Amino acid sequence: MRLFVALDIDEEIRNRIQEFTEQIRGLAPYTRWLAPGSLHITLKFIGEKPEAFVQ
C-alpha cells in the first residue's frame, strides 16, 4: 500500500487541469494520464508499507 500525505484539489481547478491535459494529450502519447478524481498535491511520500502497518 502506498502511503502519503496530500492536499485535495478544488473541483474547479481539477476541471481546468483536465481541459488543459486534453489539449496536450497528443504531445505525449506514451504518458499514462490520471483521471481528474485521482489528482492531488503530495506533501510527503511515506512509501510502500504492508497493509498490516496501516491497521
Place of cell 502511503: 3
* pLDDT at position 55 over 80: no
* Residues comprising the chain, all counted: 55
pLDDT attached to residue 36? 87
* pLDDT at position 26 over 80: yes
**For the chain, what is the mean pLDDT?**
92
> CA–CA separation, 29 vs 49, rounded Å?
32
Q: Which amino acid is at 29?
A: P
Per-residue confidence band for 34, with pLDDT thresholds at 50, 70 and 90: confident
* pLDDT at position 18 over 80: yes
CA 30 to chain CA mean position, Å: 17
pLDDT attached to residue 53? 81
Give the domain range for residue 50. 2-54
Output phi, psi for 28, to 5 deg: -135, 70
Are 48 and 2 a contacting pair, CB within 8 Å? Answer: yes
